[in-house]
Structure 1
Amino acid sequence: MNRLLYMLGETFSSLRRNVAMVASVILVTFISLTFVGSAALMQTQVNQMTGDFYDRLELSVFLCTENSPQSACPTGAVSSDQRDSLEHTLTDGAASQYVASYRHETQQEALDDFLETRGESSRTASLTASDMPESYRVLLHEPEEFPVVTELFGSAPGVESVADQQEVLDQIFSILNGLTMVALIIAGVMIVCALLLVATTIRLSAFSRRRETGIMRLVGASKSMIRMPFVFEGVIAALIGGLLACAATWVVAEFVLGQWMSQQVPSIHFIDSAQAWIIMPGLLAIAVVLAVIASWVTVRRYLRV
């Protein structure tokens, strides 16, 4: 117990003597781990959005109309028999095992949806129902089954084309994953800076106390007893920075994503502070591990007793 109290006393004494360097360690650790936390939040949000969007992802089977190109629709507009055949394929045919639900969208409904999405303008004023495609909107059990269903309907009579939103969504998620990677790269650079700062702080502290540690070694103090105050010093500084990063991560999750973004884009389910609490222990663990490694290696290399 006395040894622990002695080591803690030495640690806080050293922290008071190196306030500027300790503050730098805290600041850099805070910034670097905030980037790590933000990247983790972003990846969690992307994973949630991926699941949500893919669960609602529809396959669009566009039917031939009078305005369809001859190459895609050689028999002209879809006939009643062709439409019945397509519905049979969806309900009882080859595609039924993959289909969770489907709905038929007429040309007028397609026009109404388009105008509701784009709004009335000079470009849309001249549009009529005949300009819009008739389609079946199909929701599948599993998004991975899109290629199979696309192949079933792609060459069916009365079908002009088959499209899904998966390719577009994959591009969006690729961009978001790229932003996550950029945040992680920046965090990695900042973590290296934090490591160097911790090492420099411990080195200066060890140099200023070289005479004291030399006397301790002469009277029989163990190497661990001499080194532990320096390790505690690095850990305490890094932990303070880690706690600040945890607070920043919570603020981003609760107020930026959970409240502000949820109000701005109500159609998307954003994460909240519950995910931040899951990430926080990891941030603190990173702070402690980095501080211990930097402190121990630095003391071992530069502390001569």
Structure 2
Amino acid sequence: MRFQFILDEIVIGLRRNLAMAISVVLVTVVSLFLVGLGFLAQRQVDTMKDYWYDRVQVTIFLCGDVSIAASCADGKATDAQKEQIEANLKSPQLQGYVKEVFFESKEQAFEHFKEQSKDSALSENVTASQMPESYRIDLKNPEQYKVVADYFKNTQGVESVQSQNQVLDRLFALLNQLKLGSWLLAVITLLCSVLLVATTIRLTAFTRRRETGIMRLVGASNFFIQLPFILESMIAAAVGATLASVALVAVTKFQIQGRLAKQLTFTNYVDVGDALTVVPWLFIIGLGIAGVSAFLALQRYLKV
């Protein structure tokens, strides 16, 4: 009996305030979709880090015949200097950082250069003798590249030390800024959602103040009076969370995996599985905000 009464009250409330309910749904869709994008952005940054940090290397370029660095004042790197560099790479100070070392000769460097520049006219004007010898170092923890890079700076026989991490750090800094921007926008829209839910509930309570007054007089508890209003807002939030989840999964499948991943193949991307792990959070956040907002708004406006 009570359940049927509450259900009837919910239907009446949604019918009377259909426009406001639709507004709550739409704002909830936008805000939760942005929240979902924030979660996916975080996951994308982690995915790219896992992909790229496993592939980056620190490269020690040795002095050549025409090197002008101060550490190359004695000319081309000697065999003794190479042996010293190799000994340093195996030393206890670097043992915890270096995973594997590869020596790249001039000929090997030239082959790699031709491979990478096969469509460029520049490859026709470069010879193997112009390419630098180098040591390419795989790291146990790629994020600690500075330790190895700094160790060989200004070392005799070493022209320069380069790491792809330097480029990746700037890339991930940009991605983190974009991620924070999406989170900020999501927080703003969630705040709008909270205000809209509270306003909707207040208007609904005002238009039904006669019914709630009668319920109070016949001894209905505060919770029983408040429950239909809270459930109305939570139903609207649940519809919004459902639409936001569908939109998030669709964007992930058709835009990220269907288009972006096929056009830009230089890294891995989030997939539908990642989007589905975000969906429960959208419902938790949406229902939580709607329920709490409605409850707080009713504390004042149901007093008779």
Write the mapping of 1:13-24 to structure 2, written as runs, cut at 5 A: 13-24=12-23
Q: How does the TM-score come out when normalised to structure 2?
A: 0.92
List runs of 5+ in structure 1 lacking aligned partners.
none
The answer to which of 105-114 and 88-97 deviates more is 88-97
Aligned residue for 2:161, secondary structure, equals strand
SS of the aligned residue for 1:103 comes to strand
Comparing 248-257 with 26-35, which one deviates more in the overlay?
Answer: 248-257
Deviation of 1:97 (Å): 4.7
Q: Which moved more, 1:261-270 or 1:144-153?
A: 144-153
Q: Deviations over 1:62-90 (max 9, x none)?
A: 00001210523011011233223333443
Q: Secondary structure at the match of 1:72?
A: helix
Q: Classify 1:206/1:164 alpha carbon distance in 2 versus 1 (closer, same or farther; 3 Å).
A: same
- Kindly report which structure 2 residues correspond to 1:24-39, keeping only aligned pairs within 5 A, or say none: 24-39=23-38
2:226–2:295 CA contact under 8 A, matched in 1: yes
Structure 2: tracts of 5 or more residues without a match = none
Equivalent position of 1:173 in the other structure? 172
Counterpart in 1 of 2:283? 284
CA contact (8 A) 2:67 2:75 kept: yes
**Which range moved further: 77-86 or 174-183?**
77-86
Equivalent in the alignment of 2:222: 223
Distance across 2 between alignment mates of 1:214 and 1:303: 8
C-alpha distance 155-98 of structure 1, shift in aligned 2 (>3 A):
same
Q: CA RMSD in A?
A: 2.1
Q: Residue 279 of structure 1: CA displacement?
A: 1.1
* Aligned twin of 2:132: 133
- Distance of 1:122 and 1:139 partners within structure 2: 31
How many residues in Structure 1 have an aligned counterpart in Structure 2? 304
Question: Counterpart of 2:296?
Answer: 297
1:3-50, Cα deviation, whole Å (9 max, x unpaired): 222112201211111111111110110011000001100111101211
8 Å Cα contact 1:65-1:78 kept in structure 2: yes
**1:52-201 alignment to 2 at 5 Å?**
52-69=51-68, 71-91=70-90, 95-122=94-121, 125-201=124-200
Counterpart amino acid of 2:247? A
Say whether 1:46 aligns with 2:35: no
For residue 302 of structure 1, report the CA deviation from its aligned partner. 1.8
2:2 corresponds to which letter in structure 1?
A: R
Q: Secondary structure in 2 aligned to 1:104?
A: strand
1:184-237 CA distance string (max 9 Å, x none):
111111111111211121122111111111111111111111111100010000
Is 2:71–2:157's contact at 8 Å kept on the other side of the alignment? Answer: no
The offset of 1:257, in angstroms, is 2.7
The residue identity in structure 1 corresponding to 2:101 is Y
Preserved contact between residue 103 and residue 136 of structure 1 (Cα < 8 Å): yes
- 1:145-164 residue CA offsets vs partner (Å, 9 max, x unmatched): 42332243324331111121
- From the superposition, tell whether residues 290 and 94 of structure 1 become closer, same or farther in structure 2 (CA, over 3 Å): closer
TM-score (normalizing by structure 1): 0.91
